[in-house]
Amino acid sequence: MTSTAPAPAASDSTSTAPLLEVTDVTKYFPGKTSGLLGRRGNPVKAVDGVSFTVHEGETLGLVGESGCGKSTTGRAVSKLIEPTSGTIKFGGRDISGLSQHQMRPLRREMQMIFQDPYSSLNPRHTIGTIVGTPYHIQGVRPEGGVKRAVQGVMERVGLNPEHYNRYPHEFSGGQRQRIGIARALALRPKLIVCDEPVSALDVSVQAQVVNLLEDLQNEFGLAYVFIAHDLSVVRHISDRVAVMYLGKIMEITDRDSLYEYPMHPYTHALLSAVPIPDPKIEARREKILLTGDLPSPSNPPSGCVFHSRCPKFKNELSDSEREHCRTVEPVLEEKRPGQSVYCHFPQARPDLIAGDPVTESPIRSTRPKAA
């Protein structure tokens, strides 16, 4: 699988246009009204200038803490909510100005899978109705009738087609997630935006669903935007990964570079925080603990948005360098081939995952003490 490593550089130069091209998309939510005159406060900048591309058959992972704007990004690019600005091109066509009505035919090619399999399925509808609805809405008449098509999809995702008339409550969490996948898959889309599709599932079931998503991708050439906070799952499923913080992309690159040479201090903190099921490795790994909470997206810090929590800013930089971080906002630019980083002082840290003993040289410990 590692043969796909140089993909991003290569895929940019290939003649095929990306399936999804997102340029500088923002989504601001209006601030709270306050005072007698009903003045609005600062808008909440949930997504603030995000750009990425997704090619056919490719998976882009979108990771970050809750509140970083990854779900809003997913919804904005699939036009479930209207982005404030920026352009979204799908299959070469600019869809950012389209109305919901104009979007409808495109939904056939762009679907979504949601996190919570309990609230994303209508409890009053049978599985047959839920999975069959896309056909009715789009006016698609599959060969052999809707019922047969639905049962075919159900079988493909590992559900028993005889359960066509059952209701969602009769299924377990993992099976419900399969129903959600069947619904997304019904019209053979080109792109599926998966918003935390496995987060609510038990590990053993999670693995079943991840395998299913990969099989479907190979079979139908699907592209995924895979939104998740679990970095191990994202590594498993993604070809490229974007790390988000406070509505911006901190680092975007192919999977292997991100996990082997993470460059942004926030990526470092995220990777070091993922526990690894091996006590020996855990004992020698460095944990980079971030202090404080996520700043408010309506009032982000000046300069680099991450500087208020950046361990590197706090422990390693000189005063003049800090001044630079505080006043000048970095731009997302290529620091290694195919690896774009939003940081003034990026540094590759290959030692974070397995706690490679090679780098037990005097790297200053960034472990802060709880106040």
Binding site for another protein (CB under 8 A): 1-2, 65-66, 172-174, 202-208, 210-211, 214, 229-233, 235-236, 255, 259, 269-282, 287, 289-290, 292-294, 353-354, 370-371
Cα 117 to Cα 176, 237, 246: the distances in Å are 5, 20, 27
Least distance in angstroms from the C-beta of 157 to another protein: 14
**Tokens read off for 352:** 């974070």
**Cα Rg of the chain, angstroms:** 22
Least distance in angstroms from the C-beta of 277 to another protein: 4
Q: Which is nearer to another protein, 36 or 370 (CB)?
A: 370
**Tokens read off for 198:** 């496995």
Least distance in angstroms from the C-beta of 96 to another protein: 30
CA separation for the pair 181, 288 (Å, rounded): 36
Q: Which is nearer to another protein, 94 or 356 (CB)?
A: 356
Cα 350 to Cα 7, 272, 360: the distances in Å are 20, 11, 12
Least distance in angstroms from the C-beta of 210 to another protein: 6
The 3-state DSSP class for residue 342 equals: coil
**Tokens read off for 98:** 């389209």
Q: Which is nearer to another protein, 25 or 352 (CB)?
A: 352
Could you say which DSSP state residue 125 is in?
Answer: S
Q: Which is nearer to another protein, 19 or 271 (CB)?
A: 271
CA separation for the pair 267, 264 (Å, rounded): 5
Q: Which is nearer to another protein, 273 or 348 (CB)?
A: 273
Least distance in angstroms from the C-beta of 1 to another protein: 6
Q: Which is nearer to another protein, 71 or 206 (CB)?
A: 206
Least distance in angstroms from the C-beta of 53 to another protein: 23
Least distance in angstroms from the C-beta of 48 to another protein: 19
CA separation for the pair 322, 309 (Å, rounded): 12
Least distance in angstroms from the C-beta of 163 to another protein: 14
CA separation for the pair 271, 254 (Å, rounded): 15
Pairing of strands 240-245, 248-254: antiparallel
Q: Which is nearer to another protein, 80 or 348 (CB)?
A: 348
Q: Which is nearer to another protein, 45 or 235 (CB)?
A: 235
> CB-hemisphere CA count at 13 Å for 49?
8
The total of other beta-carbon atoms located within 10 Å of residue 136's CB is: 11
Strand partners, 227: 62, 195
